[in-house]
Structure 1
């Protein structure tokens, strides 16, 4: 069967993790690579139902409640404290306290309330939700979900304007759909933000995908978020206004996305957020300029999607913190045991502890 680039990368990563696990190299490296702790990144928590679909490119953003519960227990049994981001910042700043883990969820999916919250309540441990503030009002564009749905609805092919020419890509089989999604997704990610959103709106309209309904169906309302915020275990963080890649925006616009998101959360929930997550979070979406903007806007911490553990040197880079993804394609406790050693990320980063450039 034909493999996509994404599946090929996943296979390579699984092989590397399996090798580290079987050889015990992770445990041997741990004293040098585990650092002070780590921040887990999640998006959706959904029960597994039926036979998994072959075409499900956004499955990487989904973990089952059972797996999440097992990871929480694994982290606690490993002797790490599950702490708030405020406590994490304190420990990094002062170098005191034991090793720790934070759990963070991006975007405000409704299933976080239904399936994730009870798991944290049962263990009396905290977590953070990062909210793009257009989303709870139903005005967000979850374009990666819309792209999947548009491709899935197209019986034979999808077409999209690319540099003045019509780009036609096949959708006749699941393998076709997977390849087509990958090609369009990464092409869109390289475009200016407004251009990319215009392309998605055009594609969604052509294939009958209602972006607003999709947002309302998947994302919590402000009332639901108020209910979440009333739980002392839950910290609310900002995630820009419109989920735009800040590094692609002019400085004034990037700062507005940061500040207006904090303003809206304060107005709706009664407390100004001091923790922030960069949309996409990779080096092409958030860089040193943006790290300085969030610090200047009054945020105490800000998280990226750069892979890595937290080390003492991160006390000087609290608005450029790395995270460790709980990926839906890697729901295996042997992998997460390796994550806690930090070894996979040390190898990935060439044993560089801080990446804030």
Structure 2
């Protein structure tokens, strides 16, 4: 089903490009700017089974995106400047910001050198447990479990299942099924229990995986010393805030910020909601971020920026640079606003 959805999206992006419709729609839909969302930036991997491929782009595609923005005379700005332009209504030039979620080491190793070539600022949102080396990157752990076995035995509800993992296609189907099950569990403790059980059964060390992928506090501090870099908060444990009691969700946000501020000895003014979709960040979470005093908070809801977003600074949309669609031809479509407008049913603001 997810492969079908990817194929449909790819076909839609291609249709917008080859028809030239994005040129006609750009004046209506491109807004005043965009916030680009990334996770990993690293060289392409060869493995046939890569269920989290959508979370990574190559340095070459990032460079192509920056070249495209420069060719359209779009300013690349920090999140502080983006906030200022929205508040002040300074829209004489279009602008874009680059944001990277979770705090992966490849952001330092591969993304920063490319962004430096263009003197382009970036914001990196760090989940503090990841920097501690104790985080639960359950989607990466699930990939590691399925990659190393030919069948997965798991109890889902009252049913004991044996899922096929003999081929890349079977592994992908098993990943999709278990990923959706884990995300749908009622609480974060349920997710933790189930992924820890799978990791124990299939000998995957989740903390070692976290340490191998994520920046340590020393690396975050080194990263933050670069004048192009802003470090933002991304909760303590990368939890679904909407599933938590309000006081617990507020504590996740506050503690994450406090840990980062203690490590860096500077204020943390920007937040990214973990997962960031409608099931993980809504009006309550937007209010918590505003009450906590964040200048901006970003979602994963797709959308361009418009003047009206100035009234919703803790519910900002983003444009995903998705590893499944690394074709430079789609970049004019993304920056035209046509793709996100179609996804949103042509609503400019989706902050409810």
Q: TM-score, normalised by structure 2?
A: 0.98
> 1:16 is matched with which residue: 12, 17, 27?
12
SS state at 2:318 partner: strand
Q: Residue deviations 1:270-305, cap 9 Å, x none? A: 112110000001000111000000110110100000
What runs of 5+ residues in structure 2 fail to find an aligned partner? none
In the alignment, what sits opposite 1:286? Answer: 281
How far apart in 2 are the matches of 1:202 and 1:102? 39
Q: How many residues are matched?
A: 350
* Equivalence map 1:227-266=2 (5 Å): 227-266=222-261
Matched, 1:335 2:327: no
- In the other structure, the counterpart of 1:317 is 312
Counterpart CA distance in 1 for 2:13 and 2:41 is 23
Distance apart, 1:228 and its partner CA: 0.6
Instruction: Find runs of 4+ consecutive structure 1 residues off by over 4 angstroms.
Output: none
Match of 2:88 in 1: 94
* 1:120-174 deviation per Cα after TM superposition (whole angstroms, max 9, x unaligned): 112111000000001111010110000011011122x112222233122111111
> How many angstroms apart in 2 are the aligned matches of 1:308 and 1:319?
14
2:323 match: secondary structure: coil
Query: Hey, what does 1:175 align to over in structure 2?
Result: 169
Q: Which residue is equivalent to 2:302?
A: 307
Separation (CA, whole Å) in 1 of partners of 2:246 and 2:15? 44
- 1:35 alignment partner, one of 31, 34, 44: 31
DSSP-derived class of the 1:105 partner: strand
Deviation at 1:105, TM superposition (A): 0.4
Selected match of 1:113 from 108, 117, 132? 108
1:59 aligned to 2:53? yes
SS where residue 96 of structure 2 aligns? strand
Alignment match, 1:208? 203
Distance 2:152 2:11 in 1: 34
> Is the counterpart of residue 73 in structure 1 residue 34 in structure 2?
no
Contact kept? 1:103, 1:126, Cα under 8 Å: yes
Q: CA deviation at 1:54?
A: 2.4
1:248 Cα deviation after fit: 0.6
Contact 1:160–1:199, Cα closer than 8 Å, also in 2: no
Give 1:353 shift.
0.4
